Chains A and B, each alone.
Chain A
Amino acid sequence: MNRRPGVFGAILALLVFAVSCAAWEQRNEVFPLRGSYNNEFYKRHAQDFKLTTVAHWAHGKIADRLLEKPQDPSAADAAFYEKALWFLNHPPATEPHQDYVSPRFARLAWRAIQVIDWTHQLHKQLYDIMADPDIPTGEKKRWIDRSVDYYLSEPSMAFSPAPFEEVIMNRVGLMNQPWFKAYRTNWKRSSEMFWAFHWWHPAVYEVQMLFPGASEQKQAIEAVDDLFLNQVLKEPPNRMLLSREVMPRFSRLSPESANIFDHLHMFHGIIYDILASEKVVDKRVEIYRNIDLMLARPGDRRLAGLFPTPFPNLDPLVYSEPLKRGSGEMGRIMGHEHGSH
């Protein structure tokens, strides 16, 4: 008899709760695309997989470190670099999600974690396809395009397949942002380490293109890892290299993914700049604003291939001088004779 008001109250409370929840941010995680090639890279190139995990750990961890606002950024930078070197010598067996290594940052800006993890899964898909000897060379592009289609089917977390020039320069307006270069100013060593990582990932794609056979690919990837640890990391590039510079052949095979990976690499830098900048008050709003500018838009795919490949015959097993020094593509795009971003 007296239960009716209670029932109505409960229903009303549930409705209010449901409506208020609609405004909340949700996790929205999506499982990667299934294919016969899943985990081929992990099974065939375990050592490189583990080292890649360290690169992704570093990219996540530095965000939490920046949120801690260390009093001496240069000392924190040096300590972080040493920790990353230690990890490269003691890599973990598997790769956790970004929110596992950067929980503070995940609470601040979940969408950033989401687009990073979603792009990492595309990266893993393509590594797996290129590592799978059961997919003939002539069939690789069809499978890669299938993965890119799946990636772009989630428009709320897929970076644009349009080139760097359009997305980073025209839409984001990178050089006009008040936070531009805020991170690099005090975090030089880790900045350069990330530029070395951004040589490494595309170099692996390029040797996968050149060495499709299982055993020759394994040897070539081991050679890339040696080159990374013994040369590139010790003498990192003086700028962020673009995919088209380090993996010209793969960039022509899949220009969409080449651009998407450039955006991911630049997005890391944008996050770090925003977190390091004292000029940005609401970091979450600014990061989300930039995500919105960088997401795929209708028609972007038609722009994908509109970029030059300055070194079309590059040998990825040689860390050549134009990759170490000079202005490169980044400098050309920014209008610098000696660009260094």
Chain B
Amino acid sequence: MIRNFCTAVLFLGLALAGSAWAADHSNLEEGFPARIEDAYPIDYRALEFMASGIYEHSGEHGRHAGEFEPEIKWGFIKNAHVELSAPLVFPGDGEMKNNGDLVLEGLYNFNVETVELPALAVKTEFMFPTGVDSAGVDVEVTAIATRGFGAHRFHFNGSFRRTGGAEAGEREHTFSFGLGYDHPIDLDHLIVADFFVDRSPLVGGAEEFTFSFGMRKQLNPWSVMTLGMGSGFGASHTPDFRAKLGLQWRF
């Protein structure tokens, strides 16, 4: 069923790619290619199909893993969007837990950045247990701020997460903080970088520190390509290499 959903979403996106209009490579989206997100939603009435592929290597376990994530986003009112996604994980060690969970999120932007104020937004995410061996609804609330100085833009993401159906040894509440930066290279290309700290989801586990950097390229008026890589340290499962390729079509 999940495979059918993903195929349908992918087909829809590709079919409409030619009629799309006005994607925006300066509007940072989580995971395209960095994890940091800016405080702005997509335009009112816009639809956006996004797909990304991730390769991950963990030196400690010698593990190779991959992930494919299709997403669809809709600007249903002014200054807000909702998004539906279904990450599909291909773990090297055969651990398939939570694979195929459906994620529904909404972002609301309170204000445009001015000389005095940063742009502020709040994002709420629900992860439903539709995947493998999944239980409980996870809820995450993220505060987002974007502040620019000239063409340099800085971003803050702070999240609080409640894990539904946490098992023994798992924390019910976790949090993360991230700082990001972006800057135009030219009119078609933007570089982006970030650094995140995550509280371990395991009781007694070490914090995870990750960083990434990459580029967003406007391919044509309706699509954006993203390419990035990153690494991390801290918790044992932190990947020591991660690469990400993404595409966005707005229509």
Seen from chain A, the residues whose Cβ lies within 8 Å of a Cβ on chain B are 21, 24-32, 34, 36, 38-39, 42, 53, 57, 92-97, 99-101, 103-104, 106-108, 110, 121
Contacts and interface: CB of A to CB of B under 8 A. Distances in A.
A29 B119 CA distance: 14
Interface stretch (B62-70, B82-90, B184-192, B201-209): B184-192
Interface string B211-243: 000000011111000000000000000000000
A103 B151 contact: yes
A97 B114 contact: no
Given A24-B110, A39-B221, 9 more contacts: A26-B110, A29-B78, A31-B75, A39-B19, A39-B21, A42-B221, A57-B187, A94-B218, A100-B184
B114 A107 contact: yes
A39 B218 CA distance: 15
12 contacts: A28-B44, A29-B43, A30-B44, A31-B250, A38-B20, A39-B18, A94-B218, A94-B219, A94-B220, A96-B218, A104-B150, A106-B113
Contacts of A27: 40, 79, 109, 111-112, 119
Contact of B220 (A24, A32, A42): A42
- Looking at chain A's contact residues, the main secondary structure is loop
B222 A30 contact: no
B148 interface: yes
Contact of A31 (B46, B115, B184, B221): B46
**Main secondary structure on chain B at its contact with chain A?**
loop
A107 B188 CA distance: 21
A101 B188 CA distance: 11
B78 A26 contact: yes
B117 interface: yes
B144 to A, nearest CB: 13
B43 A31 contact: yes
Contact of B21 (A32, A92, A100, A106): A32
A39 B222 contact: yes
Contacts, number: 104
Contact of B112 (A53, A104, A110): A110
Q: Which of A24, A31, A97, A101 has the most CB of B within 10 A?
A: A31
Given A30-B78, A108-B115, A96 B221 contact: no
Interface of B: 18-22, 24-26, 40, 42-46, 75, 78-79, 109-115, 117, 119-120, 148, 150-151, 153, 184, 186-188, 218-222, 250-251
A121 B251 CA distance: 14
A95 B26 CA distance: 11
Given A21-B110, A27-B40, A31-B46, A100 B220 contact: no
The 8 nearest A-B residue pairs measured at CB = A24-B111, A92-B187, A31-B46, A31-B43, A31-B45, A94-B218, A29-B43, A27-B112
Given A21-B110, A103-B151, A92 B186 contact: yes
Nearest to A91: B187
Contacts of A34: 19, 21, 251
Contacts of B46: 31
Nearest to A68: B150
Given A26-B78, A39-B221, A42-B220, A96 B112 contact: no
A118 to B, nearest CB: 11
A30 B45 contact: yes
B128 to A, nearest CB: 25
